[in-house]
Structure 1
Amino acid sequence: MKKLCGISFVFSLLFAVGCSQDETNAKGDNQSEPLVVYLNDFDEIIEPLFEEATGYDVELVSGNGAEVQSRIEAEKGNPNWDVVWMDGQAAFARWDEEEVLLKDLDLKNIDSLNELGTSLLPESNSYVATGAHASSVIVYNTNEISEAEAPKEWSDLASPNLKDSVGMADPAVAAPAYPFVTWFFQNLGMDNGKQFFTNIFENGAKVYPKNPNIVEALLNGDIKAAALQESNAYTMKANGEPIEIIWPEEGAPASVRYVGINKQSENKEAAEAFVNFLLEKETQDELVAAGSEGYFSPTVSDVADLDERPEDPKLVIAEGDWSAEHEAEIKEWFADQSVE
């Protein structure tokens, strides 16, 4: 596996899942080159799972969302990838509009999608959701704030008792942060969205590059509460840190993890096998069980998410097309705030 950061290589242990060795060899017999998958999560487990289940060779190129997007943009004239699998409804809507992705996917496992998965399908059928997670929930340090004064709604992050004590991730840097802020702009309208975040910024909110920076700030007392990606929040909870997690009644803005195929791919058979593999119940069960990355709402029927999450987590999702259309404007506005 190749990583975009530093271009290091990591080798995973193979373990059996699904098919016999004879069956898997037969499926991969016609493959001349490894399937190249760009992704931002699950790189530690998906390679051995897919190769053992299908017989296809796969090469993973892993990086954060911004790195994956930058690489695909840089390679438009000569793409080196077959499949992209990552968070970010805006990116996939943009790639669809730019005709980067293979349209009208004919997937044998499309009927396995649950209500959430079906609702997230684009009209072009050029990409499919494999899960959605809260790009932010409200988290507060219980050593700093009592339950009574803790924020319960998103607007509470502008409360006077949280002056200079709130953190959030930078939507221009952290991949999950853009779907978070975009929902407010689409839901409230651009002007009201700007006012919503202006209220928070004028209350002294601090913007950090990524969610792990927020975790550190919560623990060292730099902030008392935050809008924090749910996987980071539940990992803190599992580690026994003094925090509580709030899912606001209005919902938690979500980041959708999609998968799509490069329309120029010469490895379409293996690419379609990869997408179908991600829509298998057994695969999604494995993804849910994959440690901190497993905190998400599955898009396949009969797959249960982790017990730590609410029984029916309310995710609110900004539309991909709208998010892509307004991405430059929203990110530029945040950059102009110069909030430290």
Structure 2
Amino acid sequence: MPFPALVRGAGLAAALVLLAACRIESAAPSAGPTASREGAPSGDVWIYTSMYRHVLDALDPLLKERLPGVTVHWYQAGSEKVASRLEAERAAGAVRADLLATSDPFFYERLAREGAFARYASPHVLRVPRSLLDLDARYAAIRLSTMVLVHRQGTTPTPTSFAALADGSWKGRVAIGDPLTSGTAFTWAVFCQAKYGDAFFTGLRARGAIVAGGNAAVLQKVESGEADAGVLLLENALAARARGSPIQVVWPTDGAVVIPGPVALFATTPNPVAAKAVLDVLLSPEGQRLIVEKGDMHAVDPRLEGPRGEPGVDALLERAQPWTPALVERGLTRGGTLKETFSRAFSQ
């Protein structure tokens, strides 16, 4: 089922073609400071993002080459910090961002329902798997992060599933991120609670799980031997291995948790022509390739391979638990309850 699907079934192709056709008119350059006499995009575009700084540094030359009249400004921070800044700006009625590119799917859906985003379907989304699109054209994934299991090379036995961390079938110490402060850990917790119930958290606590904070802390605890295994972003594990870390990746048999990192255009942008052009570059094959090569993340373009020899997006989604509208609702409406349940489990 789409993420979260608002258009389903046989009407998908027609809906996307229609949206792409509408885009041609809506993105036409207008007279004024946002467009030059020739109609080329120009002016400033602010992007609020949680993408890694080195990925942004790699994207900058491509953006300058494709859009020489556009000056791109980045506000880069973790998804939670970006959300806090946006909420403050929205409360003040002064949103500076033109585009949002973080990795909190639930935040996007909430903002979309509140009317914060303009509808825009880049031509490149026609290739993106339907489960990674909001088919109302309010946002679309441009990158995929994936929560997997990791362990140190040579440690045995290794956990084979997320369930094994809590049900006693695996004996060992595991480090996990904190859903109270880490957006990726929260998304993983939503999936696990939906699949295994509240007992998953109490099971983790009973078996000595270590709440490490964010992904960097989880990696450190596994590398140092404080934990035997961990729940970690694939991109962090692959980057660590490239540096010589003894970390090994285990694809959980109960399904990895893929976390889409969408991009959305704010309805308040003063420069929609240039902002749409920037969004198109991010979704272009060249932009997607940089996200894979520099960020160790999966592209949403099925023509591209995954990071460091991993298979591409279609094979990734086969290894993952599916995004469903019910999961989106759970994260939106029951997120506070989940955090309270997690806190109670680990305060015992």
Tell me, yes or no, whether TM beats 0.5. Answer: yes
Partner of 1:299: 300
SS of aligned partner of 1:315: coil
TM-score by length of 2: 0.79
CA distance in 2, matches of 1:305, 1:28: 36
* CA pair 161-284 structure 1, distance change in 2 beyond 3 A: closer
1:325 to partner: Cα distance:
2.1
Partner of 1:21: none
CA distance in 2, matches of 1:200, 1:222: 16
SS of aligned partner of 1:316: coil
Partner of 1:224: 228
5 Å-filtered alignment, 1:318-329, equals: 318=323, 319-329=327-337
1:280 to partner: Cα distance:
1.0
1:46 to partner: Cα distance:
2.1
Are 1:124 and 2:136 matched, yes or no?
yes
Give structure 2 stretches of 5+ with no counterpart. Answer: 1-34
Size of the alignment, in residue pairs?
300
CA distance in 2, matches of 1:27, 1:251: 50
Amino acid of the structure 2 residue aligned with 1:63: A
Q: More deviation in 168-177 or 151-160?
A: 151-160
Give structure 1 stretches of 5+ with no counterpart. Answer: 1-23
Does the CA contact (< 8 Å) of 1:92 and 1:320 recur in 2?
no
Partner of 2:61: 48
SS of aligned partner of 1:258: strand
SS of aligned partner of 1:44: helix
Partner of 1:17: none
1:295 to partner: Cα distance:
2.6
* CA pair 25-281 structure 1, distance change in 2 beyond 3 A: farther
Partner of 1:15: none
CA distance in 2, matches of 1:57, 1:302: 29
1:28 to partner: Cα distance:
8.0
Are 1:87 and 2:97 matched, yes or no?
no
Does the CA contact (< 8 Å) of 1:28 and 1:57 recur in 2?
no
CA distance in 1, matches of 2:162, 2:321: 13
Amino acid of the structure 1 residue aligned with 2:158: A
Partner of 1:31: 42
CA distance in 2, matches of 1:227, 1:27: 51
1:133 to partner: Cα distance:
2.3
Greater helix fraction, Structure 1 or Structure 2: 2
SS of aligned partner of 2:56: coil
* CA pair 249-80 structure 1, distance change in 2 beyond 3 A: same
Partner of 1:234: 238
Partner of 1:168: 176
Are 1:178 and 2:176 matched, yes or no?
no
CA distance in 2, matches of 1:44, 1:283: 12
Amino acid of the structure 1 residue aligned with 2:177: A
CA distance in 2, matches of 1:218, 1:299: 30
Amino acid of the structure 1 residue aligned with 2:179: P
1:161-218 deviation line (CA, Å, top 9, x unaligned): 635x1110011212211221111223x2xxx421112111111101111111111111
Partner of 1:211: 215
SS of aligned partner of 1:295: coil
Q: 1:65 aligns with which of 74, 79, 96?
A: 79
5 Å-filtered alignment, 1:177-196, equals: 177-186=185-194, 188=195, 192-196=196-200
Amino acid of the structure 2 residue aligned with 1:137: V
Does the CA contact (< 8 Å) of 2:150 and 2:250 recur in 1?
yes
SS of aligned partner of 2:200: helix
Are 1:265 and 2:275 matched, yes or no?
no
Does the CA contact (< 8 Å) of 2:49 and 2:77 recur in 1?
yes
Partner of 2:124: 109
Does the CA contact (< 8 Å) of 1:169 and 1:177 recur in 2?
yes
